[in-house]
Amino acid sequence: MKVEDLARPTKQQIAWQNLELGFYVHFGMNTFCDQEWGDGTDSPKLFNPSSFDARQWVKVAKDAGYKYFVLTAKHHDGFCLWPTSTTNYSVSNSLWKNGEGDVVKECADACKEAGMPFGVYLSPWDRHEPCYENKEAYDDFYCAQLTELLTQYGPIVEVWFDGAGSEGREYDWERIIGIVKEYQPDAMIFNMGQPTIRWVGNEEGVAPYPCWNTRQQARLSMFTEDQVHWLPGTPEWMPAECDVPIRGNHWFWHENDEDRIRSLDELVTIYEKSVGRGANLLLNVAPDDRGLIPDADIKRVQELSQRIQEKYGQPIATTSGNGHDIIIELEESTDVNAVILKEQIADGERVREYQIEVEQQGVWKIIAEGSAIGHKRIQSFSNVNTKKVKLKITEAVGEPEIIEFSVFNTEQVVDGV
Ligand code: FUL
């Protein structure tokens, strides 16, 4: 392959990849019905959070270092969290705020105040809407909903098109994508139509390695092995997003369910296997039926952010540069056990194979190897004592451009963090 043939990101994709960590919020009718997939028959009167506070949600995210926020404006049950003109099945018919409330607006406003990019999830599959059976009528309906969301709530960072339930169903993607491009041209489009970002292929928060930033192997949903059918003009460069709920297999809140909260170690591993493999991590933390994120989830979110800081907040040494061999010389012999690598993705994924070497008694020794670097690669290895660490790129397309090569000892407790 020639360097000019490498796929390259748009500046919007680069900006999105730099966000790395997203906060996903599943909230809606299911929150009040102890279920994950409502069938669209639950009464809107059931939606009635007693202490709803979108600012609390955004604060939890912001304080823990999340850089974007995605809300389920409508899940598969069809219940809309904003006062839409398209259906009565919405907050307008609930008891919450006497039907005057708007969850989407409160989230968008809280995000704006916090400087947090805001995104929306709008399920194509709709189990409530009677016109879902009629393709043309539902395309109109869905496009009207999307237009409301993309025109009334300020800038949107990402539109999350969930493939679940839509296996085998055709929507008017040309028209849907046209709406996104018209009203939110900078928004990322998740996995359907003419996407700019793709689903990683599981709900465990784990990217395979290597996770090249190209379109191969994308799938529509958990329920089919089929690849997604995308419109012509879909870009070659297509970074992955790893979505995962903090409570195992539960996207929505359920009572007495705290024992599903993933352990800190599991979450750290998820971070290392998502962000550490060049994907974004979209961690779902669900508010309860009061409309608040429960303390137990907040505690775990905070612990995770602290652990990430402790491990990767402060490198022993860092450098950058172009070429096939990049060496870091430490001030003294030190125990090291991890590196972070980043390449200049604007110029494509040039690195195809690399090794990490350390010098011991004047001899270079290979201690780790890999292929993709892309936006970010976190790689751990057994503790090794050395004064010199080398990134040796053994296969590349064109000249490698490394914008970060950092060395860590992740077992060392960093003062003051
Ligand atoms: C899936 C859905 O079916 C789940 O309920 C959840 O919304 C997840 C993010 O995507 O496809």
- pLDDT, one tens digit per residue, over 359-406 is 999 999 999 999 999 999 999 999 999 999 999 999 999 999 999 999
Instruction: Give the pLDDT score at 389.
Output: 98
Q: Which residues pair with 365 in a beta bridge?
A: 358
Residue where a domain terminates, one of 288, 312, 336 = 312
Residues in Cβ contact with 22 at an 8 Å cutoff, skipping those fewer than 6 apart: 66, 67, 68, 69, 70, 119, 158, 241, 280, 281, 282, 283
Residues 38, 82 share a domain: yes
Residues 235-259 have a mean pLDDT of 98
For residue 91, the domain's CATH number is 3.20.20.80
| Virtual torsion, Cα 174, 177, 178, 183, nearest 10 deg | 170
Whether 2 maps to a domain, the answer reads: no
Last residue of a domain, one of 312, 328, 355: 312
Pocket perturbation via mutation, ligand 1, pick of 70, 159, 162 by most ligand atoms within 8 A of CB: 162
For ligand 1, atom 4, which residue shows the shortest CA distance?
A: 251
- Digit-coded pLDDT (tens) for 67-104: 999 999 999 999 999 999 999 999 999 999 999 999 99
> Which residue range(s) make up the domain with 349?
317-412
* Ligand 1 centroid distance, CA of 78 (Å): 13
> Residue 257: CA atoms inside 13 Å, Cβ hemisphere, count?
20
pLDDT at residue 238 greater than cutoff 80: yes
Residue 113 sits in the same domain as residue 59: yes
Same structural domain, 290 and 403:
no
Place of tokens 């270079």: 364
Residue 259 scores a pLDDT above 70:
yes
What band does 311 get if pLDDT is binned at 50, 70 and 90? very high
The yes-or-no verdict on residue 417 having pLDDT over 50 is no
- Mean residue pLDDT of the chain comes to 97
In a shared domain, residues 373 and 322: yes
Strand ranges (DSSP E) for 273-314? 280-284
Pair 283, 394 in one domain: no
Whether the bond between 210 and the residue before it is cis, its omega within 30 degrees of 0, is yes
For position 377, which CATH number holds? 2.60.120.260
55-67 residues labelled b (16+ CB within 10 A) or e (exposed): ebbbbbbbebebb
Say if 58 falls within a structural domain. yes
Evaluate whether 407 touches 315 at the Cβ level (below 8 Å). yes
Would you say residue 4 lies in a domain?
no
Give dist(CA 83, CA 89) in Å, integer. Answer: 9
Q: Pairing mode, if any, of strands 401-408 and 317-322?
A: antiparallel
> Which protein residue's CA is at the shortest distance from atom 3 of ligand 1?
164
Ligand 1 geometric centre to CA of 252 (Å): 10
Task: Kindly state whether residues 229 and 321 are assigned to the same domain.
Answer: no
Does 1 fall in a domain? no
Tell me if the pTM is above 0.95: yes
Q: Residue 162 CA: which ligand 1 atom is closest?
A: 11
- What total number of domains does the chain contain? 2
Q: Are residues 158 and 226 in the same domain?
A: yes
